[in-house]
Structure formats: C-alpha cells, structure tokens
Amino acid sequence: MNLTAATRIYGVIGDPVSHSLGPVMHNRAFDITGYPGVYAAFRVKDVKAAVSGIMALNIAGVSVTIPHKVSIIKHLDAVDEIAEKIGAVNTIVNTDGRLTGRNSDCDGAVRAIAEHAPLTDQDVMILGAGGAARAVAFGMIRQGARVCIASRSRKNGEALASALGADFCPLDQVSGESIDILINTTPVGMHPDINAMPISADALHPHMLVMDIVYHPVRTRLLQEAAARGCRIVDGVSMFVYQGAMQFEWWTKIQAPLEQMKQAVYAALQNK
C-alpha cells in the first residue's frame, strides 16, 4: 500500500468495530483499481464528536454500523431521499466538506435475496428493529413483499412497523408456517457468541429461505439449523459485499471490483 499525502482516508465507525471486515474489503478494492485510498476501522461512542472529526480531518467517506445508523442522521448536512425514507444511514459521502448520508444496506439486501428467490408477493419476516432492519424491510416492501417486523422490544418493533406500513410480531412468538423469507438483522450469533440464535430452531421450516446479515461466522448457528431443516440459506457476505460495492462507487465514481471484494472477505473469514 503506497501511502502519500494525496491518499484519501475512508473508514467505518461503530461500537464494537474490531470485527469489521470493511478494511479488508475496501482496501482490496482500492488496490485492484489503483485508487489512492485507505480504509480503517474507528471505534466510536460519541457520534457528534466523530462527525466533527470527519470534517476536521477531511475524511472522504465513512461506513456507519451498529449502533449509530439512526442517531448519526441529525449530525449530517444532508440525507438522500432513500436514506430519509428508511430513517437510517450506513454511508457518509464527504463532498467538499458537506456530509451527505446514504443507505446501501437496502439494495444490498435486495440483491442478495434476489439471487435466490423472488420478492414480489412473498411473506418476509425481519428479525430486529434497528438501523439494518429499517433498510432491509424498506427494500423488501419496495420490491412488493409483505413484511412483518419481529423484535424483543415491542415499542421499537411496533414503531418501525407503523413507519413502514408493516406488521409486528413479538420475537418470542415467531412461527414459520406462513413465512417465505426470514431475515435476521440482529447481531445475535455474531462472533464470539456463535452458539446464540435470535429465534427457536422450531420456527424454521423447509419451505423457507433464511438469510442472516451476520457474516462472522459465515455459517451462523441460525443458518446451520436452517440448512439442517432443509431451508435454503443466504449468508451475510453477499449483502455485505453488495452494500460495500455501492459505497465504493459512491465514494470513488469507479466501478467496484465486486468479485475480488467478495474473495477478500471470504479469505479473511477463513483465517479467523
């Protein structure tokens, strides 16, 4: 990596963030395309201070992850139409000192699912009610799916369902008989708590397609149990790479080297 005074700085902010493979993916993309960029991970607790730092240091672009996707909005100069409708931001683009929030989680999830199943007229259960759930649910609804939000917090789940025109179900009451597609947007099952599951395995049925947006480990306990019951499964790497490729293109105006980015993520996961 040839770092010079002309190198543009990018990164991911979140808490926790040490597990993130954003640096692996985006630095590989910079290397392949020859773009003069470098991407790092920043553990952030104070979002307002982080935004001031982005401005002060002229950081060119930022990925936003748990738990800041909603709270960061009020600190930005602008939010694009899609991110505003979703109510969550996972990408910041710095254009001459003006910070604009965008959301690539939405289309990233749609592309990952669409490789395996249609979305129109499907019954989709979203586990979680955070920033990722907002984006994924919005994308599913926009594609013509019927969505139900399931979360431990009735207040947060019902608020999100109401905002999107979706249904709500308490997480402990999820039953899979009428679900076509189940998507986990919570961090449950993420390393190091790899034996945890967001729902009971009894809620999984063979007709379902199950996606987990957690990508470390690639085969979460949820996906292992789903596969054992005959479900089709989609791991979190696909969505992660698709949303990352969109970020890369927003930042650089260069076509993302999608396959090389995906290979870099899988290779890094094999070494963990």
Same-domain pairing of 98 and 113: no
Residues 194 and 127 in one domain: yes
User: Is residue 22 included in any domain, yes or no?
Assistant: yes
For 253, the domain range is: 8-103+238-270
Looking at the fold, whether 80 and 129 belong to one and the same domain comes out as no
184 to 1, 127, 203, 210: CA distances (angstroms): 36, 5, 13, 8
pTM: 0.93
Structure tokens at 204: 């999984």
> β-pairing, 209-212 with 61-64?
unpaired
User: Does one domain contain both 110 and 158?
Assistant: yes
Tens digits of per-residue pLDDT, 112-122? 999 999 999 99
pLDDT tens profile 27-72? 999 999 999 999 999 999 999 999 999 999 999 999 999 899 999 9
Instruction: Encode pLDDT of 170-200 as tens digits.
Output: 998 998 789 999 999 999 999 889 999 999 9
pLDDT at 246: 98
Per residue in 220-262, pLDDT tens? 999 999 999 999 999 999 999 999 999 999 999 999 999 999 9
CB 104 within 8 A of CB 65: no
**pLDDT mean over 209-222:** 96
| Statement: residue 156 has pLDDT above 90 | yes
Residue 1 clears pLDDT 80, i.e. is over it: no
Residues 136 and 203 in one domain: yes
In a domain, 2, yes or no: no
Say whether both 213 and 262 belong to one domain.
no
The domain tally of the chain equals: 2
Find the CATH number of the domain harbouring 205: 3.40.50.720
pLDDT of 72 reads 97
Q: What distance in Å separates the CA atoms of residue 73 and residue 120, rounded to the nearest whole number?
A: 30
What strands, in cross-sheet order, belong to the sheet with 98-102? Answer: 37-43, 8-14, 61-64, 91-95, 98-102, 78-79
**Catalytic sites, residue numbers:** 69
* Whether the bond into 118 is cis, omega within 30 of 0: no
